[in-house]
Structures are given as C-alpha cells and as structure tokens.
Amino acid sequence: MAPKVLISDSLSDAAVQIFKDRGIEVDFQPNLGKDKDKLAEVIGKYDGLAIRSATKVTEKILAAAENLKVVGRAGIGTDNIDKDAASKKGVIVMNTPFGNMITTAEHAIAMMFAVARQIPEASASTHAGKWEKSKFMGVELTGKTLGVIGAGNIGGIVCDRARGLKMKVVAYDPYLSNKKADRMGVEKVELDELLARADFITLHVPYTETTANILSKENIAKTKKGVRIINCARGGLVDEEALAEALKSGHVAGAAFDVFKEEPATENPLFNLPNVVCTPHLGAATTEAQENVALQVAEQMANYLLTGAVENALNMPSVTAEEAKVMGPWLTLAGHLGSFIGQMTDEPIRAINILYDGSVGAMNLDALNCGVVAGIMKRANPDVNMVSAPVVAREKGIQISTTNQDKSGVFDGYVKVTVVTAKRERSVAGTVFSDGKPRFIQIKGINIDAEIGQHMLYTTNNDVPGIIGLLGNTMGKGGVNIANFTLGRDEAGGEAIALLYVDEAIPADVLKTLEGTGLFNQVKPLEFVIA
C-alpha cells in the first residue's frame, strides 16, 4: 500500500505533484491545520504530515497520529512542533534550513530602507490625497553604521548586502571568529560597542535562553540617540514596551518589525506609533522561497517514506536506514557528548576535535561528526540539525578535525570530543556498552562510568572529605531523588568530579545552596534528550 501524506497548510502545487509523481497518495487540505480538533480526528490515517507555520503539531495531535512517521516543515522554524513528543512517538521531524535565507535577508534590507525614508507613512499620506513632502524627511544609508546581532547564515547575507550599500558593518556574534569577520568585511565587536556605535540595528539570531530580550530596556538605553531598529528574526528578542517608550521619547528614531512576541499580533505597544513599520511575519513570504521550501520538504519526505533516507532531520541523524540499525546507539552517544560540551562552554569555540577509537572508527564518521557538532551547536541555535550543523560551524569559523585510531584501551571502541576556546580545552569521552546504552567514560581526563539521564548535575571540587555527603544531603533536603551517582578524581587530594543522574530538574535554590558552600569549583545542571 502506498504511503499517505497530508498537507495541512498552504504549500506550492509543485509539492503536491512531487508526492504524486513518487507514487505517494496525498491529501491537500490547506486550511485543515487551523482546525486542531479536525486535524486530530483525521491524522491517524496518514504516514506523513507536511506543514508550514499555521499547523500546530502538539502532543495531542501526535497521540492521535497512530501511523505518522514523519512531519516535514516547509521552512526553518519548528516552534509549532512538539519535538520532544515527536521523538518519544518515534516521529521524525524535518525542516528546510536553507530555503528562505535570501528572502528573509532581503526583507530585513527592505525594512531598513522603509524605516529610513518613512515609506509606508508617506505612501499612506499620498494615497489620502495629501502632499506632505516636508513631513517625511529621511536619512541615507550610505556611510551609516549597521549593527548586526547574529552573523550566521541570514545575518551574513545582510552584512554582504549592507556593504554593497556602502554601509559600515559591525557584528556581534559570540561564535564569529576574527578570521571569518575579516573575510566578510565586517568588524567584530562586543554587544555594548555595537549598541553605542550603530545607526541601524538588525537582529538575526534564534530565540533562545541567551538571546531572549537581548535588546532589553537597559540595552536600548545604551543605543545611540536616533538609532533605528529592525527585527525580522524572532519575536521576544526585543522588549517591545521599552522600545515603544524609547520611540515616544525620541531616543529611537524608528523601528521596523516583522515578528512579535505574541503572534498573530492584533495588539502591540509598537502599533500606531510614528515611523514604525510593521509587517505580518513576511520574512519568508516570496514566491521563490515558498517554492524552494515546498519542493525541498516534499522531496525529503518522499525519500524517507519510500527509501528510509533521512535528510534535514531535527531529531534523527542523516543516515541511511541500514546504517541507522547499526549506528543508532553511537549516534545517540555522539549527540550526548556534543550536548555535554555545548552546555559547559560559554565562550566562542575555535575548534572541535573528535577522536574515534577502535571499532567505532569503521562506522559512518561523517554522520557521527554531524551528531557531535549538532549537539554542541544546539545550545546557541535550537533549530540546528544534523545537516546544517557542520555548515553553521564552518560559517562561524570553527575548525573541525577527526582522528581515527586502532583500539587503544579496554573498550572495543569509544569517542572522545575536545573543544578548544581562547581560554581552555574541554574534553569528554563515551562509549556504548553491550546493553546498547551510551555512557560517559571520561571527563577532563578523569575516568568515570556514568549512565546518561535527562536531568544531571556536574560538579568539580578539590578532593577533600565530605563532598559526597554534602551532595547527597543537599539533594535530599531539596526533594531531588538521585538515580545514579558517579565520582572520579585525577589523584588523591587533586581535582575531583561528580556526575549525578537525578529524576527531575534541580531547583534553583538547591543549586544556589551548593554554590554557597564554597566547596565547589563548578556546579552545572545538565539536560539531555533521552528518546
């Protein structure tokens, strides 16, 4: 029986035709995604679901999806998909990471022009029969300084276009190397310097824990008087109320927003303010971009449903079905090793060195590399996937090296990951035991044997008596149950580490108590995605 795919959002007719040409039965119901109850009612009979942003793939929808194998998002953002629930259900989530980069970058440039010359207001005035030529005095872009927050794929295109407009470009991106910045022809700066110098500021970062409210009230106050702010990335990056106040006071001369904290945005502090340009999330809304992402998602889904090939998956590596059977546990390990280091590293990464020892060296190392790099990069960019992660790393100037060696220890095979920054090198190693479960076996050169759980706590300390009791006591008083407790040290009286696997996320007050003892050099909660 042929696989069945439901398209529940507006997608190009060409995507429908691709499914048909590949022998896949397809139902094109572009309005169904807006009716969550109806979607839940019918989703059980489909093998694949192709969507854009209107369809919300919730835990409830997934629970009703008895036969669903893959969800394909025509676009980059997957905030409308419960990826954890999909993973637990065994549903692959795919996106199209590169299909609308140019379109989004061009929209940011267009918004910059619009706010510089007050084009929307001038157009409305002229349509109304007024001739208010003197009212709409604008500014040139030539010679102005553009501050780009986030110089990745889209931000990099914006930098290139801005340089073509003869603008001076300064960029803030913790992962942008000086070498890469030089190649781009931009000046790498810290955020405070960007805020002080920029005539225009444009944001091109994902919404994460570290980027949320990056233009806070305090940071907006640090900006140059007369600055104009453009956001075509994600809502929640800017304190919209604080920006509205700065616009009213005249400190900020204008703003152009395509995204908002609450969407659909029917009310917003920025609405109806002078020289504020607002569009309804049109960053990817061009015929070219929609065609590209629609074709890409259809091809990816068809390939998976017919051959088992996985491309651009957010919760599964890009490997063949045959490889996945053998490599599955090692791919999981690779992701955990990367995630460990990613969560531990705050400063820009210069290099990622991956060592494959013994039997693992005969596997698909490209896929394993992708797993490691994706695990590292997900902290900065949650939408990164197995395919895009190495590209993102290269864009940021991160050197990736791989070493393959014959069996050198007690394990048949293991993987060791080392990250190099300007301040330090950090390494972690792991293996897969005969039970198919990944383990951490070494951290910072200290041997351990740690089972990996969803919630963990990593601590370092000087090797002195009482640490074990202190950890156990503090966890117990905080109501945190310890599932597994692993210790290691380099030598008696030297550096010691502890890795705790706990049943739930550790409350902030418990972490604060541990830090307040003064006995720990580091206290770090960790989270891992456990399928």
Alpha helices in 118-239 (DSSP H): 119-127, 153-164, 178-184, 191-197, 217-221
Other Cβ atoms within 10 Å of 290 Cβ, number: 22
138-151 b/e with 16+ CB inside 10 Å = b?
Answer: ebebeebbbbbbbb
Supply 147's token pair: 């501050």
By C-alpha distance, which of 179, 258, 176, 253 is closest to 220?
253
User: Which of these, 193, 236, 243, 191, lies nearest to 211 by C-alpha position?
Assistant: 236
Which sequence positions are flagged as catalytic? 234, 263, 281
Task: Identify the three-state secondary structure at position 55.
Answer: coil
* Residue indicated by tokens 């007369």: 226
Is there a contact between 407 and 358 (Cβ–Cβ < 8 Å)? Answer: yes
Task: Tell me the C-alpha to C-alpha distance, in Å, between residue 155 and each of 143, 195, 274.
Answer: 19, 17, 27
- Other Cβ atoms closer than 10 A to 513: 17
Own/partner long-range contacts of 478-483 (Cβ < 8 Å, ≥24 apart): 478/506, 478/507, 478/509, 478/510, 478/513, 479/507, 480/504, 480/506, 480/507, 480/510, 483/451, 483/453
Q: List residues bridging with 443 in a β-sheet.
A: 428, 446
- Which pair of tokens denotes residue 246? 């700065």
Calpha distance 192→198 (Å, rounded): 10
- Tell me how far apart the alpha carbons of residues 495 and 489 are, in angstroms, rounded to a whole number: 6
Beta bridge partners of 484: 501
CA distance linking residue 52 with residue 55, whole number of Å: 7
Q: Which helix (H) or strand (E) holds 305?
A: helix 287-307
Task: Quote the tokens at residue 306.
Answer: 């017919």
Q: What is the DSSP letter of 275?
A: T
Question: What residues have CB less than 8 Å from 512, skipping those under 6 apart?
Answer: none
The token pair that represents 334 in the structure block: 């690779």
